[in-house]
Amino acid sequence: MNLYTFASPVTFYHLAGKLIPWFTWSAILLTVVGLYLSFFVAPTDFQQSEAYRIIFIHVPAAWMSMFIYLVMAFWGAIGLAFNTRLSFMMARALAPTGAIFTFIALWTGAWWGKPMWGAWWVWDARLTSELILLFLYVGIIALWAAIDDIKRGDRAGALLTLIGAINIPIIYFSVKWWNTLHQGASISLTKAPSMAKIMLIGMLVMAIAAWFYTIAVALVRVRGIILERERQSEWVKEILERET
Amino acid sequence: MEWASWSDFWSMGGYGLYVWGSYGVTALCILIEILLLRRSAGDTRRRLKRMQQWEEQ
Amino acid sequence: MHRFILAVLRRDLTLAARRRGDWLIAQFFFVMVASLFPLGVGPEPEMLARIGPGVLWVAATLASLLSLSRLFADDHHDGSLEHMVLSPEPTVLLVLGKSLAHWLIYCIPLLIIAPVLGIQFNLPWDAILVLEISLLLGTPILSLLGGVGAALTLGLRGGGVLLTLLILPLYVPALIFGAGAVDGVMAGTGAQAHLSLLGAFMVLSLMIAPWIAAAALRVSLE
């Protein structure tokens, strides 16, 4: 099977090394284009004035935070089902970036909410689910940190990610339900105004930039993990000879 | 072009604090992640190298 | 199959009966946490009735979490856990029996104390009745999800705190539906929808959590 060659750490280490510059430069290029679109091309919103420009990072960060979690759950499931070491390493490499994007989504949500809703924080369904998502990320990272044994850590983290992934839709639904019942206590949120096409394009470009950034960072991290775990093998020794 | 001048650009129609507060912290987060990653990548290689030399002796 | 669950259950109940101290501490914790709130926010009856359902639910959650870290730990220490996992009986049933025992030992007493605290919080009788039903439906979820957390953190340093960190986010829906049911009765909108959703979440946890906990237990013992 050809697929298994890519699943072997040594092949993947070299493949990742070749891919990282591509993803890095694509991410930089797309970020520049995205920032240009969001600040110089997208027009002023007639309702929200200039403050709406925050959504060009807020929405992509929120997308990434959820997407990365799903990818981690996917790698965890693959690892548990087929016992592939590399998929566990990918899950570990993705988690910190996912947590950072979750934090960014919360932070920018607060700084957008203050001028728009008049409050830094409202217990809105999306913000609250995002906060719980951050707790899930922190829990998974803390579990990995607490377990010294690599094999046990990999599997325990994957199981926790999976049960979280099953739970996230339920959490989102319950928080939304709770939010509609308590509408009187919270500020009624204005519906997002119909977005101009250029705003949507700007957001998509930023989202793809964030995606490439995530891939680049995760590949760098997974290379470190591979070296660490394969340190007894000959090829790692050769690489260390050559690179340092 | 949306902006008449640079100061117009920085003030963001009065929402400068919020817009730059968001973008600034996002940039900071990403910068910190990259710096930490670079450092830990270097650390891992140096540590493994040292362990390897230790074994050879 | 039934016999194995019953055997696990009987064993855990006997052990709990011998160590009544642990059992009492969790119940006192529940009473104490709930009593701190009036001291913190003030004794106005309307406000206490307003926050009561949420406070009692959170306090019950924390009280049953206290004991979760030891769900498998004691058996792990004396080596009997390994025997039970290696036995031909499915590990899922072991987890199920243990979760059931935890629920009977630590959560049923909470149900008995809750009405007294409800009176202290100035809740009307129909709200107290719904509080009981919601706790009856909701606390098994904590025992089941907690089984996953206890299996994942088995034998780790600082396992108890870590367990709390892992399980509380997953428990949010139960808290929302449970406390919401009591709120619903007091607001006059009824509790049925909340209780149905809580029941559905309980059934879902019952179907999924033991399998994941069993897998986690095997991972932790390897």
Domain boundaries, chain A: 13-187+194-243
Asked if residue B42 belongs to a domain, the reply is yes
- Here the ipTM equals 0.88
pLDDT at A182: 61
Q: Are C113 and C35 in contact (CB under 8 A)?
A: no
Distance from the Cα of A53 to chain C's closest Cα (Å) equals 31
pLDDT at A191 over 60: no
- Write down the pTM of the prediction: 0.89
Phi and psi based region of residue C190 (left: phi greater than 0; alpha: psi -120 to 50; beta: remaining): left
Domain that holds residue B51: 28-57
Give the B-side interface with A, CB within 8 Å. 1-3, 9, 12-15, 18-19, 21-23, 25-26, 29-30, 33-34, 37, 40-41, 44-46, 48-49, 51-52
Per residue in C120-171, pLDDT tens? 888 889 899 999 999 999 999 999 999 999 999 998 887 788 999 999 999 9
pLDDT at A244: 58
B and C make contact (3+ CB pairs below 8 Å):
no
**Percent residues over pLDDT 70 in chain A:** 89
Asked if A163 and C170 come within 8 Å (Cβ–Cβ), the reply is yes
pLDDT at A185: 39
Asked if residue B34 belongs to a domain, the reply is yes
CA pair distance A88, A157, nearest whole angstrom: 9
Across the A:B interface, residue pairs with CB atoms under 8 Å apart total 87
Q: In angstroms, how far is CA C160 from the centroid of its own chain? A: 15
**Higher-confidence residue: B2 or A143?**
A143
Q: Is A196 on the interface with B (CB under 8 A)?
A: no
**Own/partner pairs, B27-34, CB within 8 angstroms, 24+ separation:** B29/A100, B29/A103, B29/A104, B30/A100, B30/A213, B33/A96, B33/A97, B33/A100, B33/A217, B34/A217
Asked if residue B47 belongs to a domain, the reply is yes
Asked if residue B5 belongs to a domain, the reply is no
Q: How many domains does chain B have?
A: 1
Mean pLDDT of A86-102: 93
According to DSSP, residue C107 is labeled I
Asked if A142 and C162 come within 8 Å (Cβ–Cβ), the reply is yes
Mutate to test the interface with A, among C144, C165, C192 (most CBs of A within 10 A): C165
Which residue stretches of chain C have pLDDT < 50? none
Handedness of CA A175, A180, A184, A190 (dihedral sign): positive
Which of A49, A100, A228 lies at the smallest CB-CB distance from B29? A100
Asked if residue B3 belongs to a domain, the reply is no
Asked if residue B21 belongs to a domain, the reply is no
Which of B13, B22, B26 lies at the smallest CB-CB distance from A49? B13
pLDDT at A186 over 90: no
Asked if B22 and A108 come within 8 Å (Cβ–Cβ), the reply is yes
Asked if residue B14 belongs to a domain, the reply is no
Asked if residue B22 belongs to a domain, the reply is no
